[in-house]
Structure 1
């Protein structure tokens, strides 16, 4: 068993005044993301912020979610975090672990626990972020440490979104952006028939090569990890975000979809594909293995080609 300290960035929102809308902008009613100012992801909820340590006994193969559940059950029932399936399928438990966006349920203690010592900070005095801690450069062999070595895992809400309480981020702005790009199949409504007048079902079958173009993209669980990793989106810039673009790309690559041009047009705005800086940080931690950056780049090329045709 390992003694691990969870260092949690906690937050309790300030009670709202009766009759006052949360987050509404006093300077205008429009947001660059559509709707009124109350929907902007840049709005910060006011409240109390502090760091709190919880020490738990855990096995190296336990998940960080297991550790948080132990804290909530035995130490502090007020600690707030979100989870559902607990198996990396729903994406509801995305947070920042040691500064890196990832899922609580798939993060193992052995991959994220590190000695609580300046010796394990980088040369600039900051602990490494933006890359998995099990990489060859930053991996820590827990078995090689002294038994009484204090271990710590730092937890914070997912970057790029307003924090509602403790580790719970408000991902509604991301979901609104996904809905804006119509994440559903828009069929051609052409009923194929045989010479006898019967429905020709074979006309609606896809070749395996056609399925392969979007099959992996359909695995996106809208967890927000790519959004929290993106320096443009998490930095507060007007950007539709990688999750919404991935969802749009899934249908751009579907041979059955009839809204190809309309989908490209929807990404031509200043907060669409043009806002992507191709940093590709969004690809680093996708829990479903999607190369988000590469897919975004291919979508950008399609949008640019469509723009050129319109000129």
Structure 2
């Protein structure tokens, strides 16, 4: 047996799958008084945001992998060798693009940065029942360790037989398109509406000699530090999938959009601070944030989203 076989083990990917139902276009009949009746729940653009209908099921895939293998690598193996119909999104595979955000064991994170050894879990061992029908629920010594507990004990060893189960689902808070692919357009649209680009006064600075001043936007290190971390946001949606208030961008503009605003509000070169604060000073803007700070739990770029949210909320209220 090779060294690779000794260090590897089995893992079960439990994927929540979804296949959308094809939408049928129904032509309105001219003879019916209800054929062209408008919906009381909004326009066609609002109805397009409804959660799609289709077939939902859970499917298990058993793989032989190393603990340091990423979940994305596992899915690629499934796609290439086991089930080509499995749908998921990814691009760079190195935690830089944010396109592969999903829910792993109920926690939003990136597939490419999550390893099997870190996320695989075992189901609780069933309590043993004695001859008289009593179930032992005491210390681990009273439970039969010859079954799944032995696998748990060996999961961290070189001869691990079973690493456990990893449950995969699409990113929460967004409509599902297919399998693990979520529609993040609501988040991207909210970011776009808030003009995520530098707005200067438009005056071209010149030197005493009349030449263009190439140091017009020169910043001190402390000025750069105010927004440098915020510029690392990759709009992956992990913070919004973790936020219990966000619901596709309707009731709450979302932490990702507010982080985009905060990045330019804290930029000393930007001259549209008042305009930006006005845009988020709304009922579905900073007023909807409940300061739960769940958005900070698993930011792949290390941004303390909850703290930044508190800072931008305080700035809106203090002006």
Q: What TM-score comes out, normalization by structure 2 length?
A: 0.82
1:62-81 Cα shifts (integer Å, max 9, x gaps): 00000000101111000000
Larger radius of gyration, structure 1 or 2? Answer: 2
Relative distance call for 1:300 and 1:216 in structure 2 (3 A) is: same
Structure 2, unpaired ranges of 5+: 1-7, 28-37, 127-151
Structure 1, unpaired ranges of 5+: 120-138, 307-311
1:90-105 aligned at under 5 Å gives the runs: 90-105=97-112
1:263-282 aligned at under 5 Å gives the runs: 263-282=276-295
Relative distance call for 1:294 and 1:241 in structure 2 (3 A) is: same
Write the distance in 1 (CA, Å) between the matches of 2:254 and 2:113: 23
1:210-252 Cα shifts (integer Å, max 9, x gaps): 1111011001000000000000014986000000000010000
Computed over aligned residues only, the root mean square deviation of the Cα atoms, in angstroms, reads 2.3
Q: 1:194 maps to what in 2?
A: 207
Match of 2:22 among 8, 15, 19: 15
TM-superposed CA distance for 1:150, in Å, is 6.0
Q: 1:85 maps to what in 2?
A: 92
1:137-175 Cα shifts (integer Å, max 9, x gaps): xx9983159833461100000000000000000000000
Relative distance call for 1:237 and 1:178 in structure 2 (3 A) is: closer
1:205-244 aligned at under 5 Å gives the runs: 205-234=218-247, 238-244=251-257
Q: 1:125 maps to what in 2?
A: none
Write the distance in 2 (CA, Å) between the matches of 1:85 and 1:65: 11
Segment of structure 1 superposing worse, 192-201 or 173-182: 192-201
How many aligned positions are there? 278
Write the distance in 1 (CA, Å) between the matches of 2:201 and 2:153: 54
Runs of 4+ in 1 over 4 A off after TM superposition: 234-237
Q: 2:314 maps to what in 1?
A: 301
TM-superposed CA distance for 1:116, in Å, is 3.3
